[in-house]
Amino acid sequence: MQKLQLEKARAIITGASSGIGQGIAKAFAEAGAAVIVNYRSDEEAADRIVGAIRENGGKAEAIQADVSTPEGCATLFDASDQHFGGLDILVSNAGIQRDAAFTELSIEDWRKVIDVNLTGQFLCAQEAVRRFRKQGHDPDRSPALGKIIFTSSVHQAIPWAGHANYATAKGGVKQLMESMAQELACEKIRVNAIAPGAIKTPINRDAWEDEDTRKALLQLIPYGRVGETEDVANAALWLASDASDYMVGTTLFVDGGMLLYPSFREGG
Ligand code: BGC
């Protein structure tokens, strides 16, 4: 089988020191891309990922930045310019959860989640578009001027009690992604999203680590297993490659069927 290639591509992956982000960084590097591994606080983890990529013959740099600020985002693009001479792909992935019952949800936790999961995605994507334009199109590199992939969630569509801040941010990411795609496709900038379901990462450890909660979680997944970061990384890789050149403004759900209202299999 022909493997998807990102030869000569330069990519920024935000929130890449753990979970889905680290999976995407490794998959992209393996496909030949030079990657900026962004982290906010866990320098050691980011260094480990960069070390593993380099050991494998890949190119990577660990860069600290808080993506919820314009300055933080700019740092990443400056680093990509400096180390790799430009940028072809942004994977705007950094995300957090601060869960609480609706009336217990503090304004701080509401703001924090919107700042990182929605405003952070907006800021990095805005900077990416500016840089793509400045860089100009080189059709020998790719038919696209640039590619942006947002990490959304099944919760851009599935309401989530106890997580109003998170679901609201992800619903916003859907509209941000589609509005950008509509506006920018004529410039050959491809904007798409991946929407993971329950993937085995630190963000949802409570849901899969313990046997009872894992059983309850599996009730929500028709395909019968919790997802792995590779499942999402493979989808991101395809969206980032030119094999998906006609994909514009689409959300790829990578969720084992979570979006299919599994409780309706026997009900309704
Ligand atoms: C959340 C996880 C959750 C999954 C499915 C993701 O977006 O970050 O905590 O397990 O959606 O509900």
Give tens-digit pLDDT for 176-218. 999 999 999 999 999 999 999 999 999 999 999 999 999 999 9
Q: What is the CATH number of the domain that holds 68?
A: 3.40.50.720
Q: Check residue 1 and give its pLDDT.
A: 55
| 159 domain residue, yes or no | yes
Strands (E), the chain: 10-13, 34-39, 59-64, 89-92, 146-151, 189-196, 251-254
Residue 221 CB–ligand 1 contact under 6 Å: no
Q: Lowest-confidence range among 3-12, 109-118, 158-167, 242-251? A: 3-12
> Closest ligand 1 atom to the C-alpha of 258?
5
| 44 domain residue, yes or no | yes
Across-strand partners of 227?
A: 199
Q: State the sign of the Cα–Cα–Cα–Cα dihedral 33, 87, 67, 46.
A: positive
Cβ atoms within 10 Å of 65's Cβ, excluding its own: 24
Average pLDDT (234-262) is 98
Place of tokens 């309401």: 159
**Which amino acid does the sequence have at 268?**
G
- Minimal-distance CA residue to ligand 1 atom 3: 198
Task: For residue 81, give its domain range.
Answer: 10-201+227-257
Q: Check residue 268 and give its pLDDT.
A: 84
- Please tell me the distance from the alpha carbon of residue 192 to that of residue 144, in angstroms, as a whole number: 13
119 DSSP assignment: I
Is the pLDDT at 138 greater than 70, yes or no? yes
| 4 domain residue, yes or no | no
- Please tell me the distance from the alpha carbon of residue 33 to that of residue 27, in angstroms, as a whole number: 9
Q: Check residue 73 and give its pLDDT.
A: 97
Q: Check residue 2 and give its pLDDT.
A: 62
**Structural domain tally of the chain?**
1
* φ/ψ of residue 147, rounded to 5: -135, 135
| 263 domain residue, yes or no | no
Is the CB of residue 12 less than 8 Å from the CB of residue 87? yes
| 220 domain residue, yes or no | no
Q: pLDDT by residue (tens digit) across 61-120?
A: 999 999 999 999 999 999 999 999 999 999 999 999 999 999 999 999 999 999 999 999
| 65 domain residue, yes or no | yes
Residue 252 CB–ligand 1 contact under 6 Å: no
| 209 domain residue, yes or no | no
Position 167 confidence tier, pLDDT thresholds 50, 70, 90? very high
Give the chain's count of helices (H) and strands (E): 9, 7
Across-strand partners of 45?
A: none
- Minimal-distance CA residue to ligand 1 atom 9: 204
Token pair of 54 as six digits: 């380099």
* pTM check: above 0.75: yes
Q: What Cα–Cα distance (Å) separates residue 28 from each residue in 61, 66, 69, 240? A: 13, 22, 25, 9
Pocket test of ligand 1: the residue of 20, 118, 121, 154 to mutate, having most ligand atoms within 8 Å of its CB, is 154
Is the CB of residue 244 less than 8 Å from the CB of residue 253? no
| 70 domain residue, yes or no | yes
**Which amino acid does the sequence have at 167?**
A
Q: Which residues contact 263 (CB under 8 A, 6 or more apart)?
A: 219
Average pLDDT (147-161) is 98
Is the CB of residue 252 less than 8 Å from the CB of residue 193? yes
